[in-house]
């Protein structure tokens, strides 16, 4: 597999598989901006805000998670776009099960959603949807 070199803020060079490095959108964008493709390059990609100790941990994490499946929302969007009803049903059911029985705050945490409602807006939504609360 092609690899690239990443240079930490303290000058240490790490050789990393391109696909592992591209898990970072910042690195992926930097590669595109520098005109580096999937074939790799001999020039190191500078990461001025990341020291060697942290970069080593980041590379370990990305390597460990390289084969993780995409998030459920990606599956849903793809199933919908490709119009595969069975797959769409299964992916939606999976997300529904991830939500079932959780408080709004737990759901926000699960899906990394920022609560941008004011207290008044939240109270209004609770009142409007009171009928669907389990008793």
**For residue 121, is it within any domain?**
no
User: pTM to 2 decimals?
Assistant: 0.53
pLDDT tens for residues 70-101? 677 888 898 898 898 998 898 898 888 888 88
**For residue 39, is it within any domain?**
yes
Domain extent at residue 55: 1-67
**For residue 6, is it within any domain?**
yes
Q: Find the distance separating the first CA and the last CA of the chain, reported in whole Å.
A: 56
**For residue 84, is it within any domain?**
no
**For residue 109, is it within any domain?**
no
| CATH (domain of 25) | 3.30.710.10
How many domains in the chain?
1
Beta-sheet strand order (sheet of 3-7): 13-17, 3-7, 45-46
């Amino acid at each position: 597999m092609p690899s690239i070199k990443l240079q930490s803020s303290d000058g240490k060079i790490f050789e990393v598989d391109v696909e592992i490095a591209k898990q970072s959108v910042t690195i992926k964008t930097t590669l595109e901006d520098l005109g580096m493709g999937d074939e790799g390059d001999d020039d190191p990609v500078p990461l001025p805000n990341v020291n060697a100790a942290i970069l080593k941990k980041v590379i370990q994490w990305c390597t460990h998670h390289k084969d993780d499946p995409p998030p459920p929302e990606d599956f849903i969007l793809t199933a919908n776009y490709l119009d595969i009803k069975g797959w769409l049903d299964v992916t939606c059911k999976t997300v529904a099960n991830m939500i079932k029985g959780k408080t709004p705050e737990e759901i926000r945490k699960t899906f990394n959603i920022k609560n941008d409602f004011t207290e008044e807006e939240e109270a209004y939504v609770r009142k409007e949807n009171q009928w669907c609360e389990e008793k």
